[in-house]
Amino acid sequence: MATAHRSVPRSGPRRRRADGRTHRSRPPTGRLTAVAVARPDQQGTTMASSLTKDSARPGTPGSEKTFFGHPRGLATLFMTEMWERFSYYGMRALLPLYLVAPGGMNLSAGTATAIYSVYLSLVYLLTLPGGWFADRVLGPRKTVAVAGLVIMLGHLCLALPAAASFYTGLGLVAIGSGLLKANISTMVGHLYDGPEDPRRDGGFTVFYIGINLGAFVAPLVIGTVGENVDWHFGFALAALGMALGLVQFLLGGRHLSARSSEVPTPLSPAEKASTLRKGLIWLAVAVVFYGVVGGTGHYTLNWVLIPLTLLGLIVPILVISRIMRDKDLDSGERSKVSAYIWFFVAAAVFWMIYDQGGSTLSLFAEKSADNSILGWEFPVSWYQSVNPVMIMALAPVFAWLWLWLNRRGKEPSTIVKFASGLVLVGASFFLFLAPLSIAEGGHKAAAMWLVAIYFAQTVGELTLSPVGLSVTTKMAPVKYASQMMGVWFLAVTAGDSVTALLSNPAVGGINLDRMGFVAIEAALAVVAGFAVFMYRKKVRAMMGDVR
């Protein structure tokens, strides 16, 4: 709990008391200092004690105090995102295991991977309309509040033991996550004094720790309960996590930037009517189409999975093309968007491999790994805590390293960081070939093989993901402030859509844990990393003043 006291100057105007003596009066105002001491029961987390002190930049939102040297509003967004990630990653750790479990949906591994990948792609695909909704209708702050409520309702639907409510829950969580993701990251950017604020990259790294703190705890709590007690009780715990995040956001909203409450380009009455009309038309088309398919007895799950998979591949191309053709952009903004395409493609390849940590690797562990340490067995979902705990350990090191190198003029460029991330994620899948070979020989692969794979992916993530969030806010045209964060997340959509297309038995039907295919994916990532590095000068020139 935070405590505060007023510092009292040594001198002040004297006043006469009733007994004739004088005393020094305290000034009417004083500089506030606070000591924030974390408690184990505070929001369910324990953090190291920290000092909050006067901001070095007066006028910054929350300037009376700082959070690890950053605007106080970062603490609100940190905690909100931590609880939202707790709910999301807890459910995600259970999802592929629940889909294949005899006591769950009892689906094939290929279908489970396709559903998992389509779900992830949909979460990130919906960040685009989520950003648009904030830019044109509610503003980021109100949009995030609505998103938290929708996510909580989605997890509650997952907690009900019925297939219809399960898929409804997945849809609601995807919609809510889409509304929240782009906007909460944009709100982090609002806390800083423009793209040149030297604290900006560090702020996104601190924010990234919040993401991973929730992601670390979630599989240990939700995964354990889901696997060992009841699947649906685990999903109910995810709903509780989101409820805590929503309360945190509403209570700490006063520390956020005033910009986060603004609607940058509000819809005119005519545009609102047109948007509503088009939305209702498309909804009617979908209802009629699926009503006919279902009524004639032709409906299968692939009537949903395949269209959503193709949507995840087509929409990113259409969106970036539309932004590039926008005549309102000046030449400098258009050049930055052209450079951004390189980062987008690199990120898509990265996430295509990285996100298989929750599907391909998890399902491999469930059937072919010795999930024990020194004879002690642990739930398969616990592997999903390996990456976030490594992130929390290494993120401060990377944040310090970039600053240390920057002071000496040796910090790698954003392009070099991205290339390194691709090479590392490719190396992780080359490493995956070892446990695959062990399993093919009829043996159980040791758990440490999987830990090593997650370690390589984590280091790659730290060179690419937080930097990608930051560079997106720097390179976004003013007109597309929130929407460009949605474009960044579309890279995840594209990568996961490729995985869904390849794994779906009705389309590709490839066993993604086959050695030959894993080797091809690994080689693709490494080659893409070297290509980005070779063209770094061309990309840097297009980036203009952004570094």
Average pLDDT per run of 10 along the chain, which is 547 residues long? Answer: 37 44 40 29 30 40 59 84 90 93 89 93 88 87 93 94 88 92 82 73 75 88 93 93 91 82 88 91 92 86 90 92 86 84 90 94 94 90 92 84 87 87 95 94 93 95 83 81 76 93 85 88 93 81 68
Strands 445-446 and 369-370: parallel
Residue 463 contacts residue 417 (beta carbons within 8 Å): yes
What is the phi/psi pair of residue 406, to 5°?
-65, -40
Half-sphere exposure of 24 (CA within 13 A, CB side): 7
Domain boundaries along the sequence of the chain: 68-261+327-542
Three-state SS for 15-73 is: EECCCCCEEECCCCCCCEEEEECCCCCCCCCCCCCEEECCCCCCCCCCCCCEECCEECH
- Burial class, 269, CB count within 10 angstroms (exposed 0-12 / middle 13-18 / buried 19+): exposed
Whole-number pLDDT of residue 327: 85
Helix segments in 134-199, DSSP class H: 140-158, 163-190
Whole-number pLDDT of residue 75: 83
Handedness of CA 202, 68, 198, 333 (dihedral sign): positive
CB atoms < 10 A from the CB of 532, how many?
A: 23
Whole-number pLDDT of residue 465: 85
Distance CA 186, CA 59 (A): 19
Whole-number pLDDT of residue 507: 82
Residue 417 contacts residue 464 (beta carbons within 8 Å): yes
Whole-number pLDDT of residue 360: 94
68-261+327-542: what fold?
Growth Hormone; Chain: A; (1.20.1250)
Whole-number pLDDT of residue 442: 87
Whole-number pLDDT of residue 44: 30
Distance CA 303, CA 294 (A): 10
The pTM of this model reads 0.80
